[in-house]
Amino acid sequence: MSNKPIPQPNCPEICRVSNQIPMAAVADVDRSIEFYTLLGFACDSRFSGPDGVTNFTSLSSGRACLMLTRADEPVVPSQQAVLFYMYSPDVAALREHLLKQGLKDAGRPPGECEPGQRPEPLPEREAVFEPIFPFYMPEGEIRIHDPDGYCVLVGQAKR
């Protein structure tokens, strides 16, 4: 633990940021919409260019929101330096649902396997891993890779 003081807001309450929605660049917005509907998201809005290709969408599921925009360049999974943390009331049931919908079973997540136990390469896209039970989420957490290689962690919401 650090003995540095915990920083406090340094902005007047009248103009303080009070909400945020992550926006990610994806290769195919329509394919990503399909993927995130598997997690329970609904498409709130969709904007297409003159060519008919979807360029932007806004998605939501309860209080969870996500915006997706079409990438200008190829999306490389190993270069995705962000992950999305979400919650579900039943991560085991969510994992089973995703497997039934065709996501790859990726086995144990990275860092959870014994050395030499993962002979095949780590799936970069459209995969779901086995639940783990880290100290910060003892009820369980699953790792999912979306169509662009973004890491989605889903923790078990307290009941």
| 42-48 sheet: strands from edge to edge | 23-26, 64-70, 54-61, 42-48
Cα 126 to Cα 13, 39, 45, 122, distances in angstroms: 41, 12, 23, 11
Per-residue pLDDT reduced to its tens digit, 46-56 = 999 999 999 99
CATH architecture of 13-156: Roll (3.10)
Cα 145 to Cα 41, 51, 96, 107, 113, distances in angstroms: 16, 29, 15, 12, 18
Residue 105: pLDDT over 90:
yes
Residue 125: pLDDT over 80:
yes
Residue 10: pLDDT over 90:
no
- Is residue 135 within 8 Å of 151, Cβ to Cβ? no
pLDDT band at residue 113 using 50, 70 and 90 as cut-offs:
low
What is the rounded average pLDDT of the residues 122-142? 92
